[in-house]
Amino acid sequence: MTKPITTQPDASSNEPALPSDLIEALPGKFLVFDGPDGSGKSTQLKMFLKAANAAGLRITEVREPGGTEVGEKIRDALLEHLDREEMSLRCEMLLYMASRAQLCEQVIDPALKRGDLVVADRFVSSTYAYQGAAGGIPFSEIDSAAKIAMQGITPDSTLIFDVDQETAASRLNPLLDRMEAKGAAFHKRVREGYQSLIAGDPEHERYLGIDARGNEPQVFANIIDALRTRFVG
């Protein structure tokens, strides 16, 4: 890890930057960026990775579903539209978990053992929100499958990006994939699912709610504040 020179981000620069106390806290941590489709999490994740790279942190970046060769094939199966059938909810949940199992064993576990900062675009919190809260699978069933897939690997923190549905819908590519095309009522329940994960963790031990309504620098500042509160104190 390169030792940071400044103690605070350079306010005169437009480049996103991490404060030095946070940089010191991040090696070996597992962070997840999550939220409804269109919440802006992937844009913020790119900004965060750029800043973490510039700070000299060793990073392993992954995405879900996917992140491995077999996981990317599972991703295609999950997101492509089917011609003749509906995918059953439990098939869907287990495919997400299958991709996760491969990713945990092949990529995340070794990276954490090396002391990398691991940053994931979605993780098990997505399954609770989409297949659980929105789809209707009981959380206890998701817990059982997650135990098998994750083998004890848990994020140090999951950042959940929250915006109103209209803003989220306006940020989506008009060519909706199979999940995005599930309709407004489904996506309303997804958002409520995320909100209930945040509400169920008032001490922020697992989840950090991020107000994602502002412009990119504002949302990035919210991330830094939340991470400092969680990891620096």
| Residue 37 touching ligand TMP (CB under 6 A) | yes
A 10 A CB-CB count for 212 gives 27
Provide the β-strand partners of residue 2.
none
**Minimum distance, C-beta of residue 50 to ligand TMP, in the bound complex (Å):** 19
Quote the DSSP letter at residue 2.
P
Q: Is 204 left (phi over 0), alpha (psi -120 to 50) or beta?
A: left
Query: Distance between CA 108 and CA 67 in Å, rounded?
Result: 10
| Residue 155 touching ligand TMP (CB under 6 A) | no
Q: Which is nearer to ligand TMP, 4 or 99 (CB)?
A: 99
**Minimum distance, C-beta of residue 23 to ligand TMP, in the bound complex (Å):** 27
| Residue 96 touching ligand TMP (CB under 6 A) | yes
| Residue 70 touching ligand TMP (CB under 6 A) | no
| Residue 220 touching ligand TMP (CB under 6 A) | no
- Residue 174 — φ and ψ, nearest 5°? -60, -20
| Residue 35 touching ligand TMP (CB under 6 A) | no
Angle, helices 216-231/41-54, rounded to nearest 10 degrees = 60
Helix %, strand %, coil % of the chain (to 5): 50, 10, 35
Q: Which is nearer to ligand TMP, 179 or 224 (CB)?
A: 179
The piece of 23-31, 54-62, 110-118, 125-133 that touches ligand TMP (CB under 6 A) is 125-133
| Residues between 186 and 205 with contacts to ligand TMP, criterion CB under 6 A | none
Distances in Å between the alpha carbon of 146 and those of 76, 101, 113, 136? 21, 9, 20, 16
Query: Which one among 122, 187, 189, 230 touches ligand TMP, defined by CB under 6 A?
Result: 122
| Residue 130 touching ligand TMP (CB under 6 A) | yes
Give the residue from 96, 78, 12, 17 showing the smallest Cα distance to 49.
17
| Residue 179 touching ligand TMP (CB under 6 A) | yes
| Residue 33 touching ligand TMP (CB under 6 A) | no
Binding site residues, ligand TMP, CB under 6 A: 37, 64-65, 96, 122, 126-127, 130-131, 179-180
